[in-house]
Amino acid sequence: MQISIDSHSGFCFGVTRAINAAEQELRHGALFCLGDIVHNGQEVARLEALGLQTIDNDDLRSLPPHSRVLLRAHGEPPSTYWIARQRGIEIIDATCPVVKTLQDSIRACYEAHKNDEPLPPQIVIYGKPGHAEVIGLQGQTNNTALVLESPDQIDRLDFTRPIYLFSQTTKSVEGFNALVEAIKAQCTMHNAQLAPFEYHDTICRNVANRVAHLRAFAQSNDIVLFVGGAKSSNAKVLYEKCVEANPDTIFISSPDDIDKEILARCQAVGRVGICGATSTPQWLMERISERLSAS
Ligand code: SF4
């Protein structure tokens, strides 16, 4: 069995930056993180062993003044900053700069158009409802933005009103383009020349640029172990790309997921590739490689 780890997989710079911030701040005392710092249970457990305490929004409301709370790369809605100010909580803001720019763009669009007459605008986010980043983006519009997951849902839009479309950073470019084409077709059908449709491809290229490489990596191996957290949107997108390139791709989250059947499948072939998402730590892929080598 020849095992290789994809050199392009692993944390993106936004996640690396947030984790570095957590490690740095933990040296100065107690630190809370609002939500899982990364959608990878193994990495969360490693940081919790160093002292990081993961909290939810209810916990935030009951923290004592001067508590220190790290905001992860996904970003937060304005209400989180407001609560922190009210309670005298110190925020360590590790929002990814790419997400921050997107939040600012959506807020600027909302502020510029919220009072437009006679056609009130619709701000639309292509993303996963309830995802932390999407909640932060909706917050920029006073929670008025619509969230669409696929072109099948465009009947929720009013094509006689202006539409301003943005994307969650980790969605797929193909999916975004399909949604744009579906909306354009409906605008034409509704003869909606007076109601503009503006779209902004705000997908992070740290994710999108990995796809071509990941496809090539998947094709160059007989079997692929894709390592990702069950809650990671980015892992879902990249795993699907791997499966398209090599149907012999298996999603796992930890070395413990390598059962007898997976092991037998790996041993039956020559080349085993290990890759992962922008939320997958390098050390975890290495542990999986070690587990395979030791079997
Ligand atoms: S995927 Fe892109 S936007 Fe998301 S945290 Fe990483 S660098 Fe930032």
Q: Which atom of ligand 1 is nearest to the CA of 207?
A: 1
Tell me what pLDDT residue 192 has.
59
40 in ligand 1 pocket by Cβ < 6 Å?
A: no
Please list the ranges in the chain whose pLDDT falls under 50.
Answer: none
**Domains of the chain (ranges, CATH numbers):** 2-9+207-294 (3.40.1010.20), 13-96 (3.40.50.11270), 98-205 (3.40.1010.20)
Backbone angles phi, psi at 141, to 5 degrees: -115, 25
Residue appearing with tokens 């790369």: 73
CA of 91 to the centre of ligand 1 (A): 20
Tell me what pLDDT residue 122 has.
96
To test the pocket of ligand 1, the residue of 278, 279, 280 to mutate (highest count of ligand atoms within 8 Å of its CB) is: 278
Whether residue 43 lies in the annotated active site:
no
98 in ligand 1 pocket by Cβ < 6 Å?
A: yes
In sequence order, the 6+-apart residues with CB closer than 8 A to the CB of 206 are 12, 13, 14, 98, 278
Q: How far is CA 3 from CA 206, 220, 228, 266, 276, in A?
A: 25, 12, 18, 9, 14
Tell me what pLDDT residue 222 has.
97
Q: How far is CA 244 from CA 112, 154, 194, 239, 291, in A?
A: 41, 26, 40, 9, 26
How is residue 230 written in tokens? 């069950």
CA of 188 to the centre of ligand 1 (A): 34
278 in ligand 1 pocket by Cβ < 6 Å?
A: yes
Residues 167-200 pLDDT 10s: 999 898 999 999 999 999 988 877 656 678 999 9
169 in ligand 1 pocket by Cβ < 6 Å?
A: yes
| d(C-alpha 13, C-alpha 1), whole Å | 32
235 in ligand 1 pocket by Cβ < 6 Å?
A: no
CA of 17 to the centre of ligand 1 (A): 10
Q: How far is CA 263 from CA 1, 142, 272, 291, 292, in A?
A: 11, 50, 11, 10, 7
To test the pocket of ligand 1, the residue of 19, 40, 43, 207 to mutate (highest count of ligand atoms within 8 Å of its CB) is: 207
CA of 126 to the centre of ligand 1 (A): 16
CA of 292 to the centre of ligand 1 (A): 30
CA-wise closest residue to 199 among 214, 172, 181: 181
**Residue 148: strand pairing partners:** 126
Tell me what pLDDT residue 193 has.
62
Asked if 59 contacts 87 with a C-beta cutoff of 8 angstroms, the reply is no
Asked if 181 contacts 238 with a C-beta cutoff of 8 angstroms, the reply is no
CA geometry: angle 74, 42, 247, nearest 5 deg: 85
Element (H, E) at 110: helix 97-113
Sheet of 90-93: strand order equals 52-55, 31-34, 68-71, 90-93
Q: Which atom of ligand 1 is nearest to the CA of 18?
A: 5
User: Which residue among the candidates 111, 117, 133, 286 is catalytic per the annotation?
Assistant: 133
Tell me what pLDDT residue 194 has.
64
| d(C-alpha 78, C-alpha 19), whole Å | 22
Asked if 3 contacts 258 with a C-beta cutoff of 8 angstroms, the reply is no
Is-cis flag, bond preceding 65, omega within 30?
Answer: no
Asked if 252 contacts 223 with a C-beta cutoff of 8 angstroms, the reply is no
Q: Which atom of ligand 1 is nearest to the CA of 73?
A: 5
Tell me what pLDDT residue 239 has.
95
Q: Which atom of ligand 1 is nearest to the CA of 206?
A: 2
132 in ligand 1 pocket by Cβ < 6 Å?
A: no
- pTM comes to 0.89
| d(C-alpha 170, C-alpha 237), whole Å | 8
13 in ligand 1 pocket by Cβ < 6 Å?
A: yes
